[in-house]
Structure 1
Amino acid sequence: MNIPLPLSSSPLPLTLFDGAVCAGFPSPAADYSQRRINLNEHLLMNEQASFLFRVRGDSMLGIGIYDDDTLIVDRSITPAHNHIVLAIVDEEFTVKRLFQRGQLVRLLAENPAFPPIVLKEGQELRIWGVVTFNLHKLLNV
């Protein structure tokens, strides 16, 4: 079973350039001001309840969660219908979309190759936390 990794409480300052980066047509060059930011302030809703998990598998490809991505999971958020959650089914961690309507609870993959997880009698489901961010690496170095 994966073990959650607590996040460091020490700030991780990076430089933020004021000004948007065009993802369509390039914009004319401009002078951009810059300032230091703390990523903890931007990525963590509750620092004491936030943990990192490494993804294994491809059941969540449809929403951009890929094998080897790192998820930030917050245990202080009350899980609700349609949240992406870190769940424990029979002592195994899994990340899925929570479907909850009345007494009907399912865990849904975001890849049609994976069927929904519908609990059978005797199975145990615990929602460990709610996924708040996906840290997706774009370059393997």
Structure 2
Amino acid sequence: MGFPSPAKDYEEKSLSLDEMCISRPAATFFMHSRHGAPRTGVLAGALLVIDRSVKPIHGSIVVVEFAGDLVICRYVVSPRRRFDNLELPGQTIPIPDDDDVDGLQCWGVVTWVINNMREGEMDDCPAM
């Protein structure tokens, strides 16, 4: 006779990247990064999941439309509002108080990053 298996009632749900990464399909876009920003977890060629319906908060990784190009930046609020360009370290893009700047727009917030770890640029240096 024996005892019934305790795992009989456990059924694992299949993994769906769509369900995990996309909460608002109509506002979600995908983009490959041109340059890496390893300190943020974005390697060159990474697949970025961008949600245009999410409002950025301090520290968010965002895609900014600047001078007709899409650029990966960090949104910074304090001490002054700005976008720190992650593709060109050291370059900042100030955000004026009136939010009316020709050619400058926060296009969306990066919600997920998918890196190819076989071709990644990461090394074993813990001081990245």
TM-score between both structures, scaled by the size of structure 1 = 0.63
Structure exhibiting the larger radius of gyration computed from Cα positions: 2
Please give the per-residue CA displacement for 1:14-58, whole angstroms capped at 9, x wherever unaligned: xxxxxxxxxxxxxxxxxxx74412221111121211110000013
Q: Distance in 1 between matches of 2:102 and 2:81?
A: 12
For 1:61, the equivalent position in structure 2 comes to 38
- Conservation of the 8 A alpha-carbon contact between 1:76 and 1:129: yes
**Alpha-carbon shift at residue 87 of structure 1 (Å):** 0.5
Segments of 5+ residues of structure 2 without an aligned counterpart are 1-10, 120-128
- Identical residues among aligned pairs (%): 22
RMSD: 2.8
**Which segments of structure 1 move beyond 3 Å, counting only runs of 4 or more?**
109-114
For 2:70, the equivalent position in structure 1 comes to 93
Q: Aligned ranges for residues 1-141 of structure 1 at < 5 Å?
A: 34-58=12-36, 60-101=37-78, 104-110=80-86, 113-118=89-94, 124-140=103-119
Count of aligned residue pairs for this structure pair: 106
SS in structure 2 of the partner of residue 37 of structure 1: coil
TM-score between both structures, scaled by the size of structure 2 = 0.69
- Conservation of the 8 A alpha-carbon contact between 1:62 and 1:111: no
- Conservation of the 8 A alpha-carbon contact between 2:71 and 2:85: no
Q: Distance in 2 between matches of 1:98 and 1:114?
A: 14
Name whichever structure is richer in strand by fraction: 1
**Alpha-carbon shift at residue 113 of structure 1 (Å):** 4.2
For 1:10, the equivalent position in structure 2 comes to none
